[in-house]
Amino acid sequence: MMNATLNREKGTETITISRAEYESLKAQNAELSQQIKWLMEQMRLARHKQFGASSEKSEYNQNNLFNEAEATADAEVPEPELTVVEKHYRKRASANKDRLPPDLPVETIEHFLSEKEQSCPECGEALHIMGKQIRRELKLIPAKAVIVEHIKYVYSCRECEKKACHVPIIKAPVEEPVIKGSFASPEAVAHIMTQKFVSGVPLYRQEQEFNRNGILLSRQTMSNWLIKCAEDWLEPIYGKLHEQLCAREVLHADELCEASHNSSYVEPYIM
């Protein structure tokens, strides 16, 4: 129960409440403080989302950190139509950026009615094709690994063998391997380089991907391949380009960064 006492001399009023009422007010105050704190945090996150740099990572409320698909998906946005870009013809830019290159192979699957179904359900006469509807899909075929055996045949002359004279031995020509004494192929090395230096897939993840496909290829072996190919095949190209650049009196370089928050860049030179 709440009692109020008025002090006329000091002009103050003293309110006396019970212990239960005090605990109830204390709990309400704590709950309101938590709500205020939560609302202030939501306002801070909203301001950061609207005005903050998109590359910054929020320190709070990172529920969508590992839910990239859920965070990116938007059911209200209609799915774009599959469009093939025509060669040597530029159409007006569209807000939809989904495009397919024109040189992709097209796999056609035709769907016909069976012989029994090619009868009119009304009169029983044979049906004829009056038109067709086309639906396009993007089909992705995963990378396929195969073993390539190079069999080099050796030839000799039977006539020379009969005469017991000098017998010529001729071997079929075959291209040299990309790395001598290794089972690496140009396609395998190019795939590993592209995955690492273009797609940013580290070697340990590529090793896991190979293992899932039943191929035991360690990251140490892949590292050796990359270093050896860089020394044998790429370093001579680099040396030739460096020689031509140094022979020029003036060089043009592009030193633009990718974004304001990223100071690293690739400095291409133009001769």
Tokens of 101: 């290159």
Nearest CA-CA partner of 222 in 254, 190, 249: 190
Question: What band does 79 get if pLDDT is binned at 50, 70 and 90?
Answer: low
pLDDT of residue 196: 95
Tokens of 120: 């009119």
Distance CA 235, CA 226 (A): 12
- pLDDT, tens digit, 9 for 90 and up, residues 1-16: 555 555 555 556 677 7
Residue 132 has pLDDT above 60, yes or no: yes
- pLDDT, tens digit, 9 for 90 and up, residues 195-251: 999 999 999 999 999 999 999 999 999 999 999 999 999 999 999 999 999 999 988
Handedness of CA 37, 43, 48, 49 (dihedral sign): positive
Question: What band does 270 get if pLDDT is binned at 50, 70 and 90?
Answer: confident
Tell me which range, 32-46, 58-72, 217-231, is most confidently predicted by mean pLDDT. 217-231
- pLDDT, tens digit, 9 for 90 and up, residues 154-197: 999 888 888 877 888 999 999 999 999 999 999 999 999 999 99
Handedness of CA 213, 215, 216, 217 (dihedral sign): negative
Angle at 27 between CA 24 and CA 28, to 5 degrees: 85
Distance CA 267, CA 98 (A): 30
Task: Tell me the CA distances in angstroms from 25 to 15, 34, 212, one per residue in order.
Answer: 14, 14, 61
